[in-house]
Amino acid sequence: APTGTLVIAENETPENLDPANATNSTVDELLLGAYDALVQFPAGETAVSPRLAKSWTISEDGLTYTFTLRDDVVFHDGSKLTAADVKFTLDRLKAAKANVLNDIGPLSGAEVVDDHTVKLTLSKPFGPFLSALSRIYVVNKALVEPHMAEDNARQWLAVNEAGSGPYVIASYNPTEAVSLKAFDKYWGGWDGNHVAEVVFRYITEPSTQLSLLKSGEVQIAPDITVEDKLALMKEPGYVVDVGQAATPLYFDFNTASKGPTGNPKFREMLAKTFDRQLHLDQVLMGLGTLPDGPLPTSWPGHESGTELAFDLAGAKKMVDDNGWAGTTLTVRYLPAIQEEKSAVEQLQSNLAEIGITLNAEGMTWPAQAATVQKVDTTADINMIYSFPPFPDPHAILNASFNSALTGSNGGYNWAQYSNKEVDALLNEAASSADPAKRAELYKKAQVLIGKDFAVITVSYPGSVVAVSDKVEGYKYNAAHHQTFNIMDIGLK
């Protein structure tokens, strides 16, 4: 039986508990325990495996997915999970125009075949569809339906939970702490070492997180500074886990701008002004990998050498040749993220050297997101982390460079980047199921993107988490970046 309490420090508070917002990691880390999806990416694995769905079949044309559900799943209120709940979940997300659907491609509808069979149909073939389903958390129709009203139960689900996951959200004080307790009728059972309670404590200050970790009040502190993490590595009693994260950090240039960044030559100059090696060595203290283009080097479809190397002298020459000295640019970033701040400072410092002023505006995620919804409110440069919801080139490249997903179209393409050829390549790759062909298409896309100087890929930081050595079973989950595999964790 599960025992003990695991306390995790978290620096950002969650917006709400709505599965529609599962794209956001502070929300996802709570939902991951409380809900189940049809399929899952277990921590440490890069392939989808069954969860609510025991098995599935895919039609020849790749347009119809039929899932067979487990029959032993109960929601936290004791009622059985059926195909109707799955259909309801998807219908609700559609109606609510939920963010999670951005990654799921051309889903056209769900159909209940019988209690334990559900059929999902697409309007176009979509390669990573299964992977994308891992973020679709199934809600209890009976509980949610009465609250649908005109807001699609957004308000109700924001503070209430209707899941079937291993943990029940026992208390929700989003500025203080959220507590999850083990659900004793969980279908997966409780064999092995598990914790009975998981508490997320919201502690903004990295230094406070460190104090609490040291005093034993928390067992996992992900947000302390790199320097502190390095120091902890040498201290007994702590384990510093470095996960192979695949979350590229970009400087997105506003390619649609009427200002200087609208000019590809100017962007070419900018592309030479950031020293990635220095960032990796001195800001990340070596805990990460050196970027080579917008896709993680180990992923299929990666093409190397698409981005320019650091060459401040070359940039300086371009500035002098073109008379760009005196230009003023603005960058928007999240000051709460230390490496973003450092990168901005570094860029500011380098640009200052070649006569360009870079103003920085610190913001929070939602505020920054709001500014990119129009081209003319988009800053010259935006910093953005791409958190791919599943390990597939599509999750990074399509989200960041497809013109259908520009910021002004509500996506994460904050470079407002639009290139017909790239779009065509990405769409073709998405609808294909052949890995080799897809890889080829993605390589071509990367070359084109590189020639347009849409972004600087700043870094691939490792996911460095300081953990008390009493914790066992913590493993980084690349598909759920910045979350914790709480159902696998036990306390010694």
Partner 1 sequence: MRVLRRLLSFPKTNVERTAIVLGCLILLLALVGAFLVPFDPMKIDFRAKLQAPSMLHWLGTDGSGRDVLSRLLYGARLTLASTFAVIIVVVIIGCTIGIASAFVGGAVDNMLMRLADIWLGFPPLILALGFASALGASLEAAIWALIFSWWPNYARLSRMVTADILSQKFIASADALGVPTHRKVLHYVIPNAMDVMLIQIALDISAVMLAISGLSFIGVGAQIPAPEWGAMIADGRSYVSNGWWIVLAPGIAIFITAVSFNVIGDMLRRELDPTSRRR
Partner 2 sequence: MRYVGQRILFSILSLCVLLFITFLLSHVVSGDPAIVAAGPNAGADKIAAVRQEMGLDRPLLVQFWIYCSNILHGDLGTSWFTRQPIASDIIRELPPSLELVFVAMVINLAVSLPLGLLTARYAGTTFDDVVRLVVMAGAGLPIFWLAIILQQVVAGQWRLLPTAGRLGFENRDFTGATGFTLLDSLMQGRFDVFADALAHLVLPAFALTLLFTAVGVRITRTAMMGEFRKDYVVLARAKGASEGRIMVRHVFANGATPALTVFGMQFGWMLGATVLVEEIFGRPGIGRYAVKAVTQSDIHAVVAVVFVVGLVFLISNLVVDIALFLLTPRKHAGA
| The one among 51, 87, 92, 154 contacting partner 2 by CB under 8 A | 154
- Give the C-alpha distances (Å, rounded to integers) separating 287 from 156, 279, 297: 41, 10, 16
In 3-state terms the chain splits into helix, strand, coil percentages (rounded to 5) of 35, 20, 40
Q: By CB under 8 A, is residue 235 in contact with partner 2?
A: no
Residue 441, helix vs strand vs coil: helix
Stretch binding partner 2 (CB under 8 A), from 71-79, 154-162, 344-352, 379-387: 154-162
Pairing of strands 197-202, 5-10: parallel
Q: What interhelical angle do 226-234 and 206-214 show, nearest 10?
A: 20
Q: By CB under 8 A, is residue 159 in contact with partner 2?
A: yes
- Residue 278 CA to residue 301 CA, distance in Å, equals 26
Q: Which is nearer to partner 2, 228 or 303 (CB)?
A: 228
Instruction: Write down the least CB distance from residue 158 to partner 2, Å.
Output: 4
Site for partner 1, residues 180 to 239, rule: CB under 8 A:
205-207, 210, 225, 227-228, 231
Q: By CB under 8 A, is residue 121 in contact with partner 1?
A: no
Q: Which tokens is 276 given? A: 């990635």
Instruction: Write down the least CB distance from residue 284 to partner 1, Å.
Output: 10
- Residue 178 CA to residue 14 CA, distance in Å, equals 9
Q: By CB under 8 A, is residue 7 in contact with partner 2?
A: yes
Q: By CB under 8 A, is residue 379 in contact with partner 2?
A: no
Of 356, 342, 339, 433, nearest to 394 by C-alpha is 433
Q: By CB under 8 A, is residue 344 in contact with partner 1?
A: yes
Q: By CB under 8 A, is residue 175 in contact with partner 2?
A: yes
Instruction: Write down the least CB distance from residue 261 to partner 2, Å.
Output: 21
Q: How far is CA 359 from the centre of its chain?
A: 27
Q: Which is nearer to partner 1, 100 or 224 (CB)?
A: 224
Instruction: Write down the least CB distance from residue 202 to partner 2, Å.
Output: 7
- Residue 246 CA to residue 388 CA, distance in Å, equals 8
Of 299, 229, 75, nearest to 291 by C-alpha is 299
Residue 425 CB contacts under 8 Å (≥ 6 apart), including other chains: 441, 442, 444, 445, 448
Site for partner 1, residues 353 to 382, rule: CB under 8 A:
359-363
Of 400, 390, 466, nearest to 23 by C-alpha is 390
Of 411, 385, 424, nearest to 291 by C-alpha is 385
| The one among 3, 59, 171, 359 contacting partner 2 by CB under 8 A | 171
Q: Which tokens is 439 given? A: 């890889």
Instruction: Write down the least CB distance from residue 254 to partner 1, Å.
Output: 17
Site for partner 2, residues 194 to 223, rule: CB under 8 A:
199, 201-205, 207-208, 211-212, 215, 217
| CB distance 310 to 274 below 8 Å | yes
DSSP 273-334: S--HHHIIIIISTT-EE---SSS-TTSTT--SS-SPPP-HHHHHHHHHHHT-TT-EEEEEE-
Pairing of strands 490-491, 471-472: antiparallel
Stretch binding partner 2 (CB under 8 A), from 68-76, 265-273, 353-361, 405-413: 405-413
Q: Which tokens is 110 given? A: 């769900």
Stretch binding partner 1 (CB under 8 A), from 24-32, 174-182, 277-285, 474-482: 277-285
| The one among 2, 6, 8, 18 contacting partner 2 by CB under 8 A | 18
Residue 381, helix vs strand vs coil: strand
Q: Which tokens is 444 given? A: 């071509």
Q: By CB under 8 A, is residue 335 in contact with partner 1?
A: yes
Q: Which is nearer to partner 1, 30 or 344 (CB)?
A: 344
Q: By CB under 8 A, is residue 376 in contact with partner 2?
A: no
Q: By CB under 8 A, is residue 10 in contact with partner 2?
A: no
Give the interface with partner 1 as residue ranges (CB under 8 A): 205-207, 210, 225, 227-228, 231, 278-279, 281-283, 335, 338, 341-342, 344-346, 348-350, 352, 359-363
Give the interface with partner 2 as residue ranges (CB under 8 A): 5, 7, 13, 15-16, 18, 97, 99, 102, 154-155, 158-159, 171, 173-177, 179, 199, 201-205, 207-208, 211-212, 215, 217, 363-367, 369-370, 373-374, 409-411
